[in-house]
């Protein structure tokens, strides 16, 4: 042996040892993994022709997606790993799965064009999530901007883009493949746009004691309606959400105008009493000196 396999005099490199991970950080990640499993199961059900069950799976995944973030903030279990895992799960559940549902349901009739539309929606979902991850730590973002999303969020986009399937299951309207294609591309464009959309993150963080029971009743009624009349509830909810988009934009503009007015100081008159507009010279220089009263005149020497 010309070269020894190790150097006895070289100190061993100490490996970094990680401490135990608190359970409060694991719980939100477990919910995210559960949502990912539900979304993948929905894709399987769609390929097996069980489209209704596949839609149930996506709705359940969207509910879990709303739970994991709130749970992480509630128990202070946020982590960088959890944020990345949530983005990957959202891309699969709300980017790939709805695109495959639409293609298997009607876009396949258009051949390659329909597949391109499905891919565009999935890619726009990925771009929207990547932009969200980049902008979440923006130090220049004002505090009120947390009330808005930039573009339609991925879970909402997934539920909204499936509107043609809801209408078809209800028997109200069978959208042709070309109209479904245009609608899919329009929702994809909303996801990557910079249109401010109300986030609703701060809704439900605090509930007054007298409103606890009414809130429980409303939630129970909503869940009962969703289980009993799923396609009617999803259709009405989708239409109401689309109708609320202009109000989010108007609310964002109001916040912007208020922020600009707070940064711009009000015009104040000069300390010397010069007028705010017109001739900036003082009265004694401009030639428009006012006439002195008798008591202000200097005494005359006889």
* Predicted TM-score (pTM) of this structure: 0.75
Q: Residue-wise over 10-37: b if at least 16 C-beta within 10 A, else e?
A: eeeeeeeeeeeeeeebebbbebbebbbe
Mean of pLDDT values over 237-254: 87
Three-class secondary structure of residue 168 per DSSP: helix
In the chain, the DSSP E strands lie at: 148-150, 196-198
For position 17, what pLDDT does the model report? 60
183 vs 25, 52, 188, 257, CA distance in Å? 39, 20, 9, 33
Tell me the per-residue pLDDT of 160-191, one tens digit each, with 9 for 90 and over. 999 999 999 988 888 888 999 999 999 999 99
Tell me the per-residue pLDDT of 122-150, one tens digit each, with 9 for 90 and over. 999 999 988 888 877 666 676 666 677 88
For position 93, what pLDDT does the model report? 93
For domain 23-135+145-202+214-261, which architecture applies?
A: Up-down Bundle (1.20)
Please check whether residue 68 is in contact with residue 32, taking contact to mean a CB–CB distance below 8 angstroms.
yes
180 forms bridges with which residues in the sheet?
A: none
Q: What are the extents of the domains in the chain?
A: 23-135+145-202+214-261
């Amino acid at each position: 042996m010309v070269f020894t396999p190790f150097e006895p005099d070289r100190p061993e490199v100490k490996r970094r040892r990680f401490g135990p991970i608190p359970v409060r950080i694991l719980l939100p990640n477990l919910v995210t993994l559960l949502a990912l499993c539900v979304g993948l199961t929905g894709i399987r059900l769609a390929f097996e022709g069980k489209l209704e069950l596949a839609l149930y799976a996506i709705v359940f995944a969207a509910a879990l997606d709303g739970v994991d973030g709130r749970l992480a903030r509630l128990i202070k279990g946020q982590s960088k790993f959890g944020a990345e895992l949530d983005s990957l799960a959202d891309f699969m559940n709300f980017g790939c799965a709805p695109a495959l549902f639409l293609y298997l349901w009607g876009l396949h009739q258009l051949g390659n064009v329909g597949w391109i539309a499905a891919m565009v929606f999935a890619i726009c979902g990925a771009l929207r999530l990547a932009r969200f991850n980049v902008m979440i730590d923006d130090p220049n973002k004002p505090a009120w901007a947390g009330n808005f999303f930039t573009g339609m969020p991925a879970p909402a986009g997934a539920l909204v883009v499936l509107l043609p399937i809801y209408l078809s299951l209800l028997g109200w309207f069978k959208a042709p493949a070309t109209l479904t294609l245009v609608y899919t591309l329009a929702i994809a464009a909303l996801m990557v746009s910079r249109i401010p959309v109300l986030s609703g993150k701060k809704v439900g963080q605090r509930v007054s004691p007298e409103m606890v029971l009414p809130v429980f009743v409303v939630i129970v009624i909503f869940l009962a309606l969703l289980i009993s009349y799923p396609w009617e509830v999803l259709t009405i909810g989708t239409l109401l959400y689309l109708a609320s988009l202009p109000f989010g934009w108007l609310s964002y503009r109001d916040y912007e105008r208020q922020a600009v007015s707070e940064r711009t100081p009000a015009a104040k008159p000069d300390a010397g009493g010069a007028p705010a507009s017109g001739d900036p010279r003082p009265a004694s220089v401009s030639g428009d000196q006012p006439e002195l009263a008798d008591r202000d005149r200097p005494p005359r020497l006889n």
